[in-house]
Amino acid sequence: GAVVSQHPSRVICKSGTSVKIECRSLDFQATTMFWYRQFPKQSLMLMATSNEGSKATYEQGVEKDKFLINHASLTLSTLTVTSAHPEDSSFYICSARDQASYGYTFGSGTRLTVV
């Protein structure tokens, strides 16, 4: 089945620094990937849709200058949290859809802690 690899699984960074999270589709090509954020005991909130070769589409209320998305190839999308602050601490998850299968495959998530 389709596999989406996400790294790192957890990261701790100092306030003011930037953190990059990678999302790779391992055995399929994904022209579109999605980035979600999940707070404890809450559901997934879509942050942005990442489109290969073009600008990402951000959901209302998501700061595009803070959450930089790059989708440079058909198998890789990156999310960079710039100038991170403690309130950015959360669980970030990416997903993609393999056209040959149903549903959307999710990465294992990245737990970001900003201290």
Partner 1 sequence: QKEVEQDPGPLSVPEGAIVSLNCTYSNSAFQYFMWYRQYSRKGPELLMYTYSSGNKEDGRFTAQVDKSSKYISLFIRDSQPSDSATYLCAMSIGPGAQKLVFGQGTRLTINP
∠ CA(89), CA(10), CA(82), 5° rounding? 50
Q: Tell me phi and psi for residue 68, to 5 degrees.
A: -85, 130
Q: Which residues pair with 33 in a beta bridge?
A: 50, 96
Tokens matching residue 31: 């022209």
- Please select the residue that binds partner 1; options are 43, 53, 60, 61, rule is CB under 8 A: 43
Q: Which two tokens stand for residue 86?
A: 């403690």
Nearer to partner 1, 78 or 105 (CB): 105
- For residues 87 and 99, which CB has a smaller minimum distance to partner 1 in the complex? 99
- Taking CB under 8 A as the criterion, the residue among 49, 70, 82, 113 binding partner 1 is 49
Q: Is 46 in the site for partner 1 (CB under 8 A)?
A: yes
Restricting to residues 78-107, name those near partner 1 by CB under 8 A. Answer: 91, 93, 95, 97, 102-107
Contact 64, 70 (CB under 8 A): no
Please, which residue, 32 or 80, has the CB nearer to partner 1?
Answer: 32
d(CA 40, CA 9) in angstroms, rounded, equals 16
Binding site for partner 1 (CB under 8 A): 4, 6, 31-32, 34, 41-44, 46, 49, 91, 93, 95, 97, 102-109, 111
